[in-house]
Structure formats: structure tokens, C-alpha cells
Amino acid sequence: MSPAFLITVRIHDGRYHGAGDWPPSPARLFQALVAGVGLSGPLGEMESQALMWLEGCDPPVVGAPMMQDGQRVMFYMPNNDLDAVGGDPRRVAEVRTAKKFVRPRTFDASVPFLYAWSLREDSESERQSHAVCALAERLYQFGRGVDMAWAWGEVVDEANLEALLSTYPGMVLRPSHKGGGRTLACPRPGSMASVVARYVAGDHRFSAQGLGKSARQMFSQPPKPRFVQVPYDSPPSRRTYDLRDGTRESNFSSWPLAQASALVRLLRDGAAARLRRALPDQIDHIERGLIGRKADGSDDGPASGRVRIVPLPSIGHQHADRLIRRVLVEVPTDCSLPADDVHWAFSGLDRVDQDTGVVDSIVTPSVDENMLAHYGATDDGRSRVWRTVTPAALPESAKRRRIDPTRVAAEAKDGAERVAEHAGAAAAITQALRHAGLRIGTEAIRVQREPFDARGLRAEAFAPGTRFAKERLWHVEITFSAPVTGPLVIGDGRFLGLGVMAPIVRAQGVHALVIVGGLMATPNAVEVARSLRRAVMSRVQVVLGSRSTLPAYFTGHERDGSPARATHPHLTFAFDPGAARLLIVAPHVVDRRAPTREEVANLALLDVALAGFRDLRAGASGLLALRASSVDADADPLFAASRTWESVTPYQVTRHTKQVGAAEALSADIRAECRRSGLPEPRVTPRDPRGVPGVGLIGGARLIFEVAVQGPIVLGQSRHFGGGLFSGDDAVRGGPWHRE
């Protein structure tokens, strides 16, 4: 394993005031190292050599926490009019003026910044890397002067570094060396000298010209430090191709779905042959970048630099036949072959029928690329739920046990074995996502052999003609913790047309956040729900922009501040104390109806806003650490159908019935709320009704319906803040009202 050099930086208060784009660039770290070393005086010879060695290294991998824009703060500074206050410096506050706004970036202070350089295996690199480790411990600020920080360095092997990056709870950016998109400033040879020159020039910014009354003071801007802009995570060069009929190019030529891998091999080998003829001196690059092996047939080169050919079966409608008429060719920025040469090799490829000698299909660049939208490869194609169109090939460790067809009954698998196989496949999917470059957390992974759609094919149908046994092929559904953009291709067969996934466009009606730490012993359910509501509104506002008005869907209020009318349904926020989790429930789920088009758009906005939501300040209830989770509507006691429902959080009466006792008033109000919500009227057994000053009548209850009712059931005046939450049957977990 080749070694790597890692610098870890922490800012103690989780706020970063440095100017420029996020994340802080390697150049900013380099400047902070120079400043830390130079704090005690001129740089010594050993320090200078170590920093000059660092500036000659290749750009590092960068890890940064998930960020939010903090509150904007106005800075006031005195102007140059001290004479207006009689030259008295004690009155300087009287001549202060608003100079500028500063908006810090906030993040989880427990998540550090990471900068990892690959090291050459020689004695000089080993010596200098340890020298830079010592310099990193002298770093004292990172960004502006208010960003107090500390850092340390270490040398790790490649396996440990990849394990660290795969579990890193933030964004990981890798240098692309070429391409476009996001760029970060990185040190280069000469950066060290330019930083020192800028510091020295700072002592001579002001100089006097002329003598006597004609003398003038001149200001000279110190020279800028010299860094190089390096692209990070540049998108690949993509082009879509149509398979056209060789006799009538106006017609598409279709390819069977089960033979997707054969089509990819055919196109790959045809393009490689054209490139070999045109570029005979580039054979090694062609084999490495297009085929993925050396000229002698052995494996070679990282997978990140290989050309990927993705078949695009026709999907997007229930009657789509799923035949392959288009392919997508992706050339990554790390590919050793120029993208234009690769696209030229695919354009105009033809297939000749071996029996008739007639060209039966031609590969032509697509004019209409609408099919990419069905695979999430557009700007608005982000989705949390993805399913395989062609099954994913998983490692041997996730292989199902083969049963001899003549001994099906004798070798049948029991439930425990099937559960173990599915668990192993789900674990392999996590690794497959990491190999595909996806480090976003998952909420749920579902695997099966059967297709998810009626016109799909079982996983075994794709095995013939491939190097993968049918027991290694699985259809997969993945629910991510945040929306993901396509195209998404996973598994060991991702370069052979297998593991192609498509997003499932559905309104995510329930978001569940498990509390993994920080919860006080006696939390207030409504207080926690209100804190969650404020945090969600703040995150949605960041996505919309400070000048946009939050829709009533998120606030529950009209523009004039009045409560939202019934025509403007809004989100419900709840705290489930038994499961120690937070719930954000869409109104269409509570009302048991389909979402409107406007609600679907708002839910997509909510998906984006909740990405990276990992902590919540809930007042006296604690600073909560959160983890996104999924909800099984068929098994979760808050959502599964049941006849008997028990209070989990206090029910607050909406309208107190006159001239009756507290218990009867509570029961009557619950029955009225059930009718208003479209639920059948239950038999109500009230629990501990009592009046609370400033709130009204609250209590718990047991509801018994004549037929099973699907959850969630959230009732009462405080229902949008988690009050009146019920759990089905006798599976109540920790609710304060569950007692006989």
C-alpha cells in the first residue's frame, strides 16, 4: 500500500470566517502553516525546506464538514474623521460607520478538515513528511484571525486513508488535474517564496514621496501569493448515442435488455479497434482507459480513469418496453485518452450482420437527450430513492447459495439463510457505493432477484455471456439520506452495462431523524418539535435565498403572520420519545391523500434542505446529534394499521365542551377531531385529563376503532408540533400515557 500524508485541522467553535469559496483550499492551509511557523520569527532552514517540499507535492484530497451560512453580522469601524471630535481618540465611537457585512460559515465542530497528499516511497519524502507533521502542530488560526484552530499531521497507508474517507461525515473532494467545474487554489513551486515576499512587502506598504509641504504618502499593494487553480471532482465528458437502423437511419435499432452487457462489449471493442488503427502509438493508453487492462491482458489503472459505457433502456412510462436504443459514454477527467478522441471512436460505429453482411445498426450522436432525465442525469434529476434497471453484480461474498435444480426440495433455504444472504448483499452494496465514488449515507437498502417493474427481467436473465455467476446478480433499491444526481451505476459490472440505476420520483412524505446523542433525561416533546420546526425553516430559507418568502407549507402561517388557512396545509413536526427520534410528516400523509403538484415541489425542496442535517439545538431538552433513518410503514407502530391506538404525547383540546367534566370534554374533542380528519369515530378511554394554565385541557387517551386504521394519527390543537401523537396497538414505546 502506498503511503499518504494527512493533515487534520479543527476549528474549536464550528465557525469559519475566511473569504472565498467553500471548502478552505489547500493554499489557505499552506498559508496558515507558514503563518504558524513564522509567528516566532524568521523561518529556519529546515522549516523552509519542508514547506518547499510540500509545495511540490501533487494536489491533496480535501475533506470538509457540511456547511451552513450563519447569521449576517454588520461590522462598524471608525472613519478617518477624528478631527470632527476634536482629535480625542476616546470619542472614536462617535465617528463609527457601517463598513461591511460578515456572514460566517457554521459547521459541526466535531468534524475536522482533512488534507491528504499521496507520498512517493523514498527517504526524502519520508523525512520531509514528518517535518511537516511537526509544523502542523504550530498552526494556530485557519481563515481569519478569529478562526482559532489547531492541527496535526500523520503518515498513513492507503487502506487506512480510504477507510477514513469512506466514513467521513462530510464532503470529500478529489483533484481532477484537468476539466472544469469547482476549482481550489493549491500550492505550487514558488508559492513559499511568494508568501514570504508578500509578508516582507507588508512592512513597506507606505512610503513618503517629496519633501516639506509637498510630501505625499503613497500606498503600495503587497504582491499576491502565487498559487495554481486545480479542478476538483470535475464532471466527466458525457455524450449520448442512438442505435439507428443501418438501412433506414430515421428508425431506431433496438437491443434486448438481457443482453445489455453484450452490447457494451461490442461497442467498447469496436471503439478500441478504431482507436488502435488511428493511434497506433497509444495502444497502452487505449487498453488502460477503454478496456481497463494492459496490452498483455492483465488488469491495470484505477477504475476512476476508465471510460464508462452505460446502456439506457427505454423507461419512464408503464408501457415502455425497456429495449435498449441509446447508450451514454462517459470519459472521466482522469482518463489517459482525450475525450474528443473517445467520442470520435464511438460516433459512426456500425454492426454488420454476420449472416447477410449488411450493416444492421449504426451508432450516431443523439439530438434529443431527454432520456437522460429518466436516469437522473440532469440538474433537476436529484432523487433519494434509486432502483436498478439492470441488476448489480456484487462480490463473491454476497453470492447466493446455488441450489441443484434436481434437489430443490432437499436443499431449500430456510428463512434464516435467506435473511443472512440479503444482509450480506446489503453490506456489499455499501462497498459498491464507495467504489462508485458515492459517500452519501443510506437509510434503507432492499435486494431481490425479481425486477421492481412489471416489464423488467429477473436478475438471472443477465448472467449468460458474462463473467458473473447468476448468484452474484441482485436487483437493488437504495434510499439515500440526501438526494443524489445520476447517472448512477454500481457493482463489479458497472463497466459492462450492469448495475444501471434509475431514480424513483416519489414524494418523500415522512422524514425520520434518530437522536443518537445529547438528549436530556426528561425532554419536552412540544419544545423539541418547535426547535425542529425552526431549524427546518432556517435550512429551507438558506436553500431559497434570504430574499425569498418561505411558503406556508413550512411555516404554517400566511404572509401577514396569521395561522395558515385550511387551503394551505403544512408540515407536522413531532418528537417520538419511545424511539428517540424526530419526525417531519407531510400533510398529505396525515390527511391520507395524494400530494398536490405544489406539495411535491415543496417536498423536493425539503429533501435538499435536510441534506447534512446532523444536529439540533433543542433548548433545555439538549443539543441533539441526529442521524437520518427510514420508516417501514408496514411495521412501524406509528404508521402500521391497527384498531387500538394509545397516546404517545399529550393531546391538547381544541375546543372545550361546556358543562361537562374534563374526561368527557377530552373524549368529545378527540371524537370530533377524528371526524374532522376523516377517521371513523373511535371509542375513547381518557387518561389523566388536567388543565394547564395558559394551555388549556390536556391529557392522554386510548382509541379503539371498529376497523384497523392506518397511521399516522396526530390530533388536537398542538398536532403540528408533535402533540396528540398516537401509537398503534400495544407496541407503545415509552409514551407517558401508556398505563392501565
| Pair (260, 355) in one structural domain | yes
- pLDDT tens digits along 474-505: 999 998 877 888 899 999 999 999 999 998 86
Check residues 154 and 400 and name the one with the higher pLDDT: 154
Euclidean distance between the first and the last CA atom of the chain, given in angstroms as a whole number: 63
Contacts of 142 (CB under 8 A, 6+ apart): 9, 11, 16, 18, 24, 28, 29, 32, 113, 149, 151
Grid-cell match 439520506, residue found: 481
160 with 192, same domain? yes
User: Is 446 found in the same domain as 360?
Assistant: no
431 and 395, same structural domain?
yes
Residue where a domain stops, chosen among 629, 662, 682? 629
Per DSSP, 134 falls in state H
Q: Considering its fold, how many domains does the chain have in total? A: 5
The CA R_g of the chain, rounded to the nearest whole Å, is: 32
* Higher pLDDT pick, 71 / 458: 458
Helix (H, G, I), strand (E, B) or coil at 4: strand
- Rounded to an integer, the average pLDDT of 236-242 is 90
361 half-sphere exposure, CB direction, 13 A CA radius = 19
Evaluate if residue 116 carries a pLDDT over 90.
yes
pLDDT score at 408: 66
Can you tell me the distance from the alpha carbon of 22 to that of 170, in angstroms, rounded to the nearest whole number?
Answer: 12
Q: For the residues of 617-640, what is the DSSP string, one character each?
A: E-GGG-EEEEEEE---TTT-TTTS
Q: 76 has which bridge partners? A: 98
Return the pLDDT at 290. Answer: 87
Q: What is the largest CA-CA distance in the chain?
A: 110
Across 91-96, average pLDDT = 71
At residue 159, the pLDDT reads 81
Q: Which three cell numbers stand for residue 407?
A: 434437489
Residues 343 and 392 in one domain: no
Task: Give the bridge partners for 146, in sequence order.
Answer: none
- Indicate whether 100 belongs to any domain: no
Shared domain check, 390 and 302:
no
Q: Are 252 and 325 contacting, i.e. CB atoms less than 8 angstroms apart?
A: yes
Domain boundary among 319, 353, 373: 373
Together in a domain, 146 and 264: no
- Bridge partners (DSSP) listed for residue 310: 328
Q: Is residue 435 part of a domain?
A: yes
pLDDT at 357 over 60: no
Q: Do 364 and 395 belong to one domain?
A: no
Residue 359 — pLDDT band, cuts 50, 70, 90? low
Sign of the alpha-carbon dihedral angle for 154, 157, 162, 163: negative
Co-location of 368 and 380 in the same domain: no
80 domain residue, yes or no: no
**C-alpha span between 260 and 313 (Å, rounded):** 9
Per-residue pLDDT at 601 exceeds 70:
yes
Select from 528, 540, 579, 513 the least CA-distant residue to 722.
528
Give the CA-trace dihedral at 158, 160, 163, 164, to 10 degrees.
-110
Please report whether residue 381 resides in a domain.
Answer: yes
pTM: 0.68
Q: Is residue 210 part of a domain?
A: no
Specify the DSSP class assigned to residue 542: H
Distance between CA atoms of residues 245 and 40, nearest Å: 75
Closest CA to 476 of 494, 459, 497, 493: 459
> What's residue 544's pLDDT?
87
Average pLDDT over residues 569-574: 90
Give me the pLDDT at residue 98, please: 62
Task: Give the number of other CB atoms < 10 A from CB of residue 417.
Answer: 12
Percent helix, strand and coil across the chain, each rounded to 5?
Answer: 30, 30, 40
- Which one, of 692, 581, 708, lies nearest residue 644 by Cα? 708
- Residue-wise pLDDT for 248-294, tens only, equals 666 888 889 999 999 999 999 999 999 999 999 888 888 888 888 76
Q: Is residue 532 part of a domain?
A: yes
Write down how long the chain is: 740
**Domain shared by 175 and 187, yes or no:** yes
Tell me the pLDDT of the chain averaged across its residues. 83
Asked whether residue 34 is domain-assigned, the answer is yes
pLDDT band, very low/low/confident/very high, at 739 (cuts 50, 70, 90): very low
Based on the domain organization, do 430 and 480 belong to the same domain?
A: yes
pLDDT single digits (tens) 362-378: 888 988 878 888 898 87
Range of the domain at 252: 237-373
Contact present, 715 and 677 (Cβ < 8 Å): yes
**Distance separating alpha carbons of residues 605 and 721, to the nearest angstrom:** 21
Q: 52: closest CA among 187, 184, 200, 185?
A: 187
Q: Which cell numbers hold the place of 714?
A: 396526530
Per-residue pLDDT tens for 513-570?
A: 889 888 888 888 888 999 999 999 999 998 888 788 888 899 888 877 787 776 678 8
Q: Is 651:701 a contact under the CB 8 Å cutoff?
A: yes
Share of the chain above pLDDT 90, in %: 20
Give me the CATH number covering residue 491: 2.60.40
**Contact in structure between 324 and 497 (CB atoms under 8 Å):** no
**CATH classification at residue 27:** 3.30.70
Please answer whether residues 413 and 402 qualify as being in contact, where contact means their C-beta atoms are separated by less than 8 angstroms: no
SS3 213: helix
Residue 328's pLDDT band (cuts 50, 70, 90): very high
pLDDT digits (tens, 9 = 90+) for 36-92: 888 877 788 888 899 999 999 999 999 988 777 766 676 666 666 666 677 777 777
Nearest C-alpha neighbor of 541 from the set 66, 171, 71, 75: 71
The answer to whether position 72 is within a domain reads: no
Boundary residue ending a domain (202, 223, 248)? 202
Nearest to 544 by CA among 496, 601, 605: 605
Using DSSP's 3-state secondary structure scheme, residue 687 falls into strand
- The predicted-structure confidence for 201-215, as pLDDT tens digits, reads as follows 777 777 777 776 777
pLDDT at residue 348, as a whole number: 86
Contact call for residues 637 and 732 (beta carbons, < 8 A): yes
User: Do 293 and 434 fall into the same domain?
Assistant: no
- H/E element, 46: helix 45-55
**If phi over 0 gives left and psi between -120 and 50 gives alpha, with beta otherwise, what is residue 50?**
alpha
Pick the closest to residue 488 from 385, 406, 350 (CA basis). 385
Amino acid residing at 335: C
Q: How far apart are CA 184 and CA 450, in angstroms?
A: 45
